[in-house]
């Protein structure tokens, strides 16, 4: 009898992952930095080990307000500014320092090391003081809300209602022609949202909480 001893095989790999993403490895999904092993069967029927060294690339998505400017903390990234309410890029607004020409909610789209991140929407003198809006013209109840929120206009009919996540993603939109509208929040995650109500006379914006 001839005994053959086949070698073990260990395949070492490395990978980078954008913060917030995940990747499949064997029968697992990985999202944290670390070293992970997965066992396979080699052509000889022996165990073969795949060792993955995973690095999660850091993301600096902090924004601060200094005077009339919004400043993104990331110093080496490519940065473009986004108007969360109008759902559009701000024309010619690039770089770490952004001086808004009008009140709104702004976010920075940050691209670095092949990864793209969008910061939270930053309130630049908008909520509660935009245009001619007043607390009496639009009522939003209850707030915080558990399942449903009622929007009531005490002046002209509501034309459009939009609900945005805190990062500026549109999660709900509806056209209307009435003074009262009810939004069902039961399918949404708990947390803060930005409610935008458009009437013939004004655009009303308020932060609401789904508890």
Which residues of the chain have a pLDDT value below 70? 1-9, 41-47, 126-136
Are residue 39 and residue 72 in the same domain, yes or no? no
Between CA 45 and CA 136 the distance in angstroms is 75
Are residue 96 and residue 153 in the same domain, yes or no? no
How many domains does the chain contain in total? 3
Q: What is the pLDDT of residue 145?
A: 92
> Domain for residue 130, yes or no?
no
Between CA 68 and CA 91 the distance in angstroms is 18
Are residue 148 and residue 206 in the same domain, yes or no? yes
Are residue 37 and residue 98 in the same domain, yes or no? no
Q: What is the pLDDT of residue 177?
A: 92
Are residue 206 and residue 151 in the same domain, yes or no? yes
Q: Supply angle C-alpha 129, 131, 134, rounded to 5.
A: 60
Are residue 43 and residue 69 in the same domain, yes or no? no
By residue range, what is the domain housing residue 53? 9-57
Last residue of a domain, one of 97, 124, 151: 124
Q: Could you tell me the pTM of the whole model?
A: 0.60
> Domain for residue 4, yes or no?
no
Pick from 66, 61, 98: nearest CA to 77: 61
17-65: per-residue pLDDT in tens?
A: 998 889 898 888 999 999 998 877 655 556 678 889 999 988 888 888 8
């Amino acid at each position: 009898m001839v005994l053959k001893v086949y070698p073990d095989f260990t395949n070492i790999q490395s990978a980078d992952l954008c913060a917030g993403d995940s990747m499949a490895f064997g029968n697992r999904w990985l999202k944290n930095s670390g070293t992970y092993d997965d066992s396979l069967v080699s052509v000889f029927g022996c165990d073969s080990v795949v060792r993955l060294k995973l690095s999660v690339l850091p993301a600096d998505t902090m924004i601060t307000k200094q005077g009339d400017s919004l400043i993104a903390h990331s110093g080496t990234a490519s940065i473009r500014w986004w108007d969360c309410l109008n759902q559009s890029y701000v024309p010619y607004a690039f770089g770490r320092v952004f001086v808004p020409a009008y009140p709104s909610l702004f976010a920075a789209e940050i691209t670095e090391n092949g990864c793209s991140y969008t910061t939270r929407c930053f309130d630049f003198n908008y909520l509660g003081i935009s245009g001619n809006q007043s607390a009496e013209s639009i009522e939003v109840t209850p707030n915080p809300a558990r399942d449903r929120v009622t929007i009531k206009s005490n002046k002209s009919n509501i034309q459009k209602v939009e609900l945005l996540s805190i990062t500026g993603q549109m999660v709900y939109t509806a056209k209307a022609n009435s003074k009262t509208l009810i939004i069902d929040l039961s399918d949404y995650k708990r947390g803060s949202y930005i409610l935008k109500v458009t009437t013939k006379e004004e655009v009303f914006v308020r932060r609401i909480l789904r508890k």
